[in-house]
Each structure stands twice: as structure tokens, then as C-alpha cells.
Structure 1
Amino acid sequence: MLEDPARDVLTPTQLNTLARDLLESAFPLVWVEAELGNVTRPASGHLYFTLKDARAQVKCAMFKPKSQWLKFVPREGLRVLGRGRLTLYEARGDYQLVLDHLEEAGEGALRRAFEELKARLQAEGLFDEARKRPLPLYPRRLAIITSPSGAAVRDVLSVLARRFPLLEVEILPTQVQGATAAAQITSLVQRAGASGRYDIVLVTRGGGSLEDLWAFNDERLARAIAASPVPIVSAVGHEADFSLSDFAADLRAPTPSAAAELLVPDRNALDARLQGLQRRLSALQLQSLRQSMQRADRAVLRLQAMRPQARLQLLQRRQQEARRRLESAWREQLERRRSSLRHAAAVLRATQPQRRLAMLRERLQSLGLRPQAAIARELQRDTLKLRALARSLEAVSPLATVARGYSIIVDAEGRLVRSVSQAQPGDPVSARLSDGELKLRVE
């Protein structure tokens, strides 16, 4: 029989590839609830099994990156809920389901309820990052809402005592699983926020199954956490566990111990920072002290260079010289005016009546008093200036310090001794006091 030339001829590989592409494109991600059978785990770490019911079965595979995170041990006859995609293993032509999630079937309904509630609250914006608040860097008082007998609270207290013993911790005891746990936790969250006592609230418990953690998936609890006026940290279960309280809280910690690490700073790091600041402060103080000492030394040198007593004597001499010159100038001017007036009087006596002569005499007498008054005023002003200058010099003079009971030590060459390192045993020194000078020798 001749082959039809219009018909395509496929190899088994091509046929299986087409079938695989058709399956993967036609079927979305599916959930299957069934009983486990033929469970095997070879050395590769992959998990192979069948999912079956009373009338059919399907081969399944779960590869190592996913199977190593299972929270239970797969065994024959266990009823499970799996999620995966249909495909075809081309080498053997086996139709199979490749799973990325597998859990015990008892948790399936809870898981679906969790996902539905999470999607609804997320759509409301309850989990938005924009509404989450930062934690205080240095909290003073912490409330821990948890079971007082659980391992989680012991882990948290141990880490807090090691990292930041200054923190005040109050445990608000509650049930963390069971029918009434969610209502108790919600009430404590609301009371802790309304009390105004706490800087942070930690809601935590240890690990467990989805059913054990279900109290932390309560809608009222999630809304109470989101509405709390105090920042809330949620640390429920292990790192792979997620609850609605984690999404609603201001910060989610993977474990209770990790929550304690995130809540408070490390005291060793704080000690190191404080020591660094102390060293910096000491260095700044020492630098400021050195600068002040240098300014004082420069002031002493300037004071010594000015020699206040010599300057005062010089100013006194200048004042006396100025007074003499002023008096001489006034006398010369007075003499010239008197000569002029005498000449005028002589002329008047020869040319004017006796009344004119009397007027000129009165004017002469008044003119004779003016220079004397001017000289007296000028001398008074110079005296006031001299006294003010003397007070200024005395204020900065080392002699004023000596007069208060201090002394100035100088060596044999007259140099100022500021430190004990400048004098050796046996060296002669002099101590200048307010009423004289003492000759001393260094012991």
C-alpha cells in the first residue's frame, strides 16, 4: 500500500513534543485532591508518586527545589491537595502532573479561605506599604502578646536581654490557638494601642500547621492590627509560614527570635558608638583647651611687650609736655593780646574820651580770664583721659594679679617660668610680689 504524499509523517519525539505543548497550553494551573500512591524519592531528591481516587490515577512529579520544603512526610494512602501543571514526559510518553505545592488535604479548605480573605483585604488596601509606620529606634516599653508558657516568648526575652537590657517588657498573656484565641488576641491588640503605655507591640507564637496558626488569620484581628495607633510587629510561626497578621502588621519577622533582633539595637554597637563619640568629644575639648592656652600665651607676650608701667610713665610725660606747651602757647597768645590791648589803650588815651578807656580796661580784664579758664578745662580733660588709660592698663597688668596675692616667677635671665620643666634643682629664681622681690633657689 502506497503512502499518502499529502500526509505529514511524525517521529515519536515530534509527536510527544506536540502533545506536551498542547497539554501545557490548554490546561491552566490546577488543584487536585486525591490519595497518595507509589511514593518514591530517589537519590536525586525528586519526589515521584501517583494521585488516585476510586476510578483513576495520574502520575505526578515534584522536583527537589519544591519537595524539600514540604511540611509533612508523604506516605502511601495519605490524602493530599496538590497544585501543578499538566505536561508529558517525552522520553517515555507518560502523561503526568508536575506539582509546585503539596499539602495535607485537611488544610485545603483553610488554605483556600486564607487566600480568598487575603485577596479581599489586599484589595481594600489593608496591606499597603504606604500605611505602614517605621519602628522607633530606641523603644522604652514593649508589649508581647503571646502565650506565657510557649517557647516563642522565651526566645524573645533571651534575645532582648542580650541585645538591649534597658527595654521594659510586659507580657500580655493570651491563647494562641483554639476557638477563642483570635478574639483574645484582637482584644489585647486594641487595649494595648488604647493604653498609650507602649512604644511597640509584638504579636508572636511558635510554628505549627495552618490549622494551629489559624487564629492569626482572623479578619477582625487583621483589621485591629492595621488600625492600631502603636506600631505592631508580627512574628508568627517559622520563616515559611505567613498569616494575615503578618501582612497587616507594620513589620513582619520570620521568627520570634528574628523579631527581637529587629525590635531593639545591639548594645555592643551602641557601646562602640558612644565610645567613639566620647573620644571625639575629648579630642575637641583638648583642641579647644590648647587653643585657649595659646591665646593666653600670646596675650601674656603682648602684655610683656607693652610694659604697662613704662607706657604709663611715657603717657604721663607726654601729658606733662602737652600741658607745658599748651600753657606756653596760651601765655604767648595772652601776652600778644595784652600787648595789643595796651597799644590800643595808649592810642585811645590819646584819641578817645575817658569812657572809651574804661571799656577797654574791662575788656582787657575779661580777655585775661579766658585763657586761664580754657587752660583749666583742657587740663581737666587730659587728666580724665589719663585716669581712664591708667585703669585700662591696670586691668590687663600682671601687677594687678600680683597685688591680689599671686606671684610671678622668673629665672636668672629674667625669663618667665611657666612650667616646672623650665627649672632644674639648684637654679636661682626670683618671685615678684606686690611689695618686693624674693630670691629663691629650686630644690
Structure 2
Amino acid sequence: MAKVEALPYDDRTVYSVAAFNRGVAQWLTRLPTVWVEGEVTELRRHERWATVYFTLKDPADGSCVGVTMARGRFDALRLDLADGERVHVFGRPELYEQRAEFKLRALTIERFGAGAHLAALEQLKASLAAEGLFAEARKRPLPFLPRRIGVVTGNDAAAKRDVVTTIRSRFPPALVLVAETYVQGPRAAAEIVAAIGALCEQPDVDVVVLTRGGGSFEDLLPFSDERVVRAVANCPVPVVSAVGHEQDTPLCDLAADVRASTPTTAGKLVVPELAELFGRLDRARAALARNVRRSLERDRQRLAHSAERLRTEPRMAVQRESMRLARAHERLRLAPALAVERKWAALENSAAKLAALSPVQTLRRGYAIVRTESGDVVASSGEVSVGAHVAVTLADGAFGARVEEVAT
């Protein structure tokens, strides 16, 4: 920012015109943003201009101030202003230094009374939200193939043409019932409620589309009327709201089951595309045919396997029985020899045990059996006396003897 400097001139402080204008302009930048009320006059807007110009006039005494606003910001407001309209302009004062032209650089514009409307709408929105009219739990899914489609729209409205054309181009068999009504003005809210009620009384209506094209804030006010919002929320069938443009959000959008950004989008939401539906059916039919062929092939393979088993099983059963009989025959053939062998082995084992326990084996190791004349076995020296005759049995033979000495 250039510094404002005075020119030294004798005993005076003198400013150039440029310095003076620059100083005033810099001082104006320190002022806060303000709201200014007045009537629009001399409105000038051109597609090639980056700025929109108009004059704000006080109707009481004719005082005027020039206003400038960036064209993109002005167009985004979609106010469709005309000369003579009363507005509130929010902006900052500034000075065009070269010509010392004082203007108000506008940041936003509202029609007179729009602020009060917005405050009332916010209050109504909060009240209806507290009742649960905007809750996600209330939202219902749209029917896949509605029997009849109700459309609430204005007379000869482009929105009606867009939604009906879209529905019939996507799904020609669709049945559309149009209820034309007022969509702006003081009578619109009551007429919209009546049109919704009349459509719901018609048989086979499964979904209702509430639509109108874009418009100013005031034009769309009927769609934020409490009566309309409650009619949408209490509608016995799902409601698609397609009111205004993408950036517009009337309260009926919040109460509707589905919000569409444009009437064309609403038409796409309520019906499927017939060509796509046929394509899905064709794909489903092809998948079903493939599954049937695979199932039949699996059953054919199982049947062939079962037939092969039935063909080979008897022969294999006979072979198994033949082998079992052969093994049984071999066992029967070998059974007697095996029994004799086992008996012989048992006998030899018993003989070996008897031989090990026989007194003869003991006698063969050098022992003898001594008996008295009466035949009793002498087990102790006390059983014989000197001079007694005894019989001595050896492992091989026997002899008689006389006791010469007895030791204890």
C-alpha cells in the first residue's frame, strides 16, 4: 500500500489529488462491513463483464450510492433483481481513487424481508426436526417397479416435461399420473397439499414425485411451508422431492424419502432403465442356463459312476468271495497237521517238564534212595540204627547194605 505523503509548501501541508484520494480510500478500508437498505436502480449486468453495477436509492429522499458486485457472486444468488426492488445489501465502502468515486462493494444481497423469512424457516426447521419429521429412520425405500407414478408439478412446467420424458424414455410401460397445481405464490402451499392428497387416493399409486424448476428464494417458499412439509412426511407412499437446483434445500427435501437434485434425476430414481433391466434378465437367464448345464453334467457323471460300479461290483464281489473261500479251504487243509504239530509240541513240553521233575534225573547226578527193610524211604539218620539192613537204589540198579555207623 502506497504511503500518503504531503508536499512541503512554505508553512502549509499540501496533498496532491492522488495522495488525497489514496488517503481517503485507505481510511475507508478501516470502516466495518454494513447492511444498507434501498431500491435497486440502473442495474447493469453483461456476460462479458466481471462486475455487476447498480445504484441503491433511498425512496424517502432520493439519496443514492453506487454498488458494485462480482458477477459470479451476483449470479450465484439467483435473485433475478429488477429496477425498483427493495433490497438489503451487505458490503464495505470503498473509493475508486482515480476518479474519487465512492461506492459500496457488495458481498451479498437479500430482498427486503428475506432475513426475517430465513429466521422463521430456521425456527420451523428446528421445530420439525425435534418432532422427528426429518429422521433417517422415517425414510422409506422406493419401489423397484411402481404400478403408477404420481407427479405433482406446475402447469406447463419444464420440470414436468423433464421428469415425465425421463420416466417414459427409461421405462416406456410406466404409468404416470400428473397433478398440475400452483407451485409459487400465496395459493401454492394449500394447492400442493391438495394435489398430494388427491394422488394418494388414486389406486395403485406407489410413489409420488414433487417437482418444480429453479427460482428465487421467494418462489421456492411454498415448498418450505409447514403444511407442505407435513403432507410430504405423512404421505402413505414414498415421496421424491426435486425442487429447485442442487444448492436449493427447501424443507420438503428434508421430509421426503429421497431428494433428487433435478427433475431428470427424479425420473431416473423412480424407474429402472428398461434396456438395463432386459440386460440383467438376459444375464440372469444365461447364468441360470449355465448352472443347469453344470448340474446336469454333474448328475450325468454321478450316474455314469454309479452304472460302472453296478457293472463291476458283482464281479468284484465274486472275486472277494472266491478268495475268502480259498483262504478258508487252505486253513481247513492245514488244520489237522497244525493240530497234531501243536499237540506234539505240547506233549514234548510236558515230557520235558516230567523228565526235569523225575527222581531218576536226581539219581543220575550221583544221589541214591535209601529204604528200610519195610520199604520206607530213609530221610534222616535217626530212622536207622547200627546193624540195620537197608536197600540202596541208584540211577542204574540197586544193592543191599548194612548200617555200620550212624552219625547225627
Q: What's the TM-score bracket when you normalise by the shorter of the two chains?
A: 0.5 to 0.7
Does the residue aligned with 1:78 lie in a helix, a strand or coil?
coil
2:124 aligns to what?
Answer: 121
Deviation of 1:233 after TM superposition, in Å, equals 1.7
Matched residue type, 2:33: F
1:216 aligns to what?
Answer: 223
1:267 aligns with 2:257: no
Does the residue aligned with 2:292 lie in a helix, a strand or coil?
helix
Deviation of 1:136 after TM superposition, in Å, equals 1.9
* 8 Å contact kept, 2:154–2:182: yes
Deviation of 1:293 after TM superposition, in Å, equals 2.6
1:81 aligns to what?
Answer: 87
The CA distance in 2 between the partners of 1:315 and 1:240, in whole Å, is 87
The CA distance in 1 between the partners of 2:47 and 2:152, in whole Å, is 44
The CA distance in 2 between the partners of 1:168 and 1:274, in whole Å, is 22
1:32 aligns with 2:37: yes
Structure with greater helix share of residues = 1
Deviation of 1:315 after TM superposition, in Å, equals 7.6
The CA distance in 2 between the partners of 1:40 and 1:176, in whole Å, is 29
The CA distance in 2 between the partners of 1:42 and 1:124, in whole Å, is 42
* 8 Å contact kept, 2:79–2:217: no
1:181-215 deviations in Å (ceiling 9; x for gaps)? 42232234346568895432212234555555554
* 8 Å contact kept, 2:33–2:90: no
2:55 aligns to what?
Answer: 50
Deviation of 1:42 after TM superposition, in Å, equals 8.2
2:146 aligns to what?
Answer: 140
Matched residue type, 1:46: T
Higher mean alpha-carbon deviation, 313-322 vs 253-262, is at 313-322
Does the residue aligned with 2:56 lie in a helix, a strand or coil?
strand
* 8 Å contact kept, 1:36–1:74: no
* 8 Å contact kept, 2:78–2:215: no
Deviation of 1:159 after TM superposition, in Å, equals 1.1
The CA distance in 2 between the partners of 1:33 and 1:291, in whole Å, is 86
Of 284, 289, 303, the match for 2:291: 284
Structure 1 residues 67 and 324, CA, compared in 2 at 3 Å: closer, same or farther?
A: closer
Structure 1 residues 117 and 301, CA, compared in 2 at 3 Å: closer, same or farther?
A: same
Does the residue aligned with 2:30 lie in a helix, a strand or coil?
helix
* 8 Å contact kept, 1:47–1:61: yes
Structure 1 residues 230 and 83, CA, compared in 2 at 3 Å: closer, same or farther?
A: farther
Matched residue type, 1:115: L
Deviation of 1:247 after TM superposition, in Å, equals 3.9
Deviation of 1:176 after TM superposition, in Å, equals 3.6
2:373 aligns to what?
Answer: none
Deviation of 1:299 after TM superposition, in Å, equals 3.0
* 8 Å contact kept, 2:91–2:108: no
Matched residue type, 1:138: F
Please list, as runs of the form range in 1=range in 2, the aligned pairs for 1:249-260 lying within 5 A after superposition: 249-260=256-267
The CA distance in 2 between the partners of 1:19 and 1:231, in whole Å, is 59
Structure 1 residues 42 and 211, CA, compared in 2 at 3 Å: closer, same or farther?
A: closer
Matched residue type, 1:284: N
Of 16, 30, 37, the match for 1:22: 30
Please list, as runs of the form range in 1=range in 2, the aligned pairs for 1:104-119 lying within 5 A after superposition: 108-109=112-113, 111-112=114-115, 114-119=117-122
Does the residue aligned with 1:228 lie in a helix, a strand or coil?
coil
2:406 aligns to what?
Answer: none
1:59 aligns with 2:66: yes
2:103 aligns to what?
Answer: 96
Deviation of 1:134 after TM superposition, in Å, equals 4.5
* 8 Å contact kept, 1:147–1:175: yes
The CA distance in 1 between the partners of 2:79 and 2:329, in whole Å, is 119
Deviation of 1:40 after TM superposition, in Å, equals 6.1
1:156 aligns with 2:163: yes
Matched residue type, 1:84: F
The CA distance in 2 between the partners of 1:90 and 1:207, in whole Å, is 36
Deviation of 1:65 after TM superposition, in Å, equals 1.1
TM-score (norm 2): 0.61
The CA distance in 1 between the partners of 2:164 and 2:223, in whole Å, is 21
Structure 1 residues 79 and 153, CA, compared in 2 at 3 Å: closer, same or farther?
A: closer
1:80-106 deviations in Å (ceiling 9; x for gaps)? 424331142564465432334457x6x
1:433 aligns to what?
Answer: none
* 8 Å contact kept, 1:194–1:229: no
The CA distance in 2 between the partners of 1:284 and 1:42, in whole Å, is 62
The CA distance in 1 between the partners of 2:81 and 2:153, in whole Å, is 32
Structure 1 residues 39 and 46, CA, compared in 2 at 3 Å: closer, same or farther?
A: same
> Unaligned 5+ residue runs, structure 1?
5-10, 329-443
Please list, as runs of the form range in 1=range in 2, the aligned pairs for 1:332-351 lying within 5 A after superposition: none
Larger radius of gyration: 2
2:397 aligns to what?
Answer: none
Does the residue aligned with 1:143 lie in a helix, a strand or coil?
strand
* 8 Å contact kept, 1:137–1:265: no
> Unaligned 5+ residue runs, structure 2?
1-9, 14-18, 334-408
The CA distance in 1 between the partners of 2:281 and 2:171, in whole Å, is 15
1:335-368 deviations in Å (ceiling 9; x for gaps)? xxxxxxxxxxxxxxxxxxxxxxxxxxxxxxxxxx
The CA distance in 2 between the partners of 1:162 and 1:63, in whole Å, is 41
1:194-239 deviations in Å (ceiling 9; x for gaps)? 8895432212234555555554343212222233343222223455
Of 303, 315, 339, the match for 1:296: 303
Does the residue aligned with 1:81 lie in a helix, a strand or coil?
strand
Between Structure 1 and Structure 2, how many residues are aligned?
317
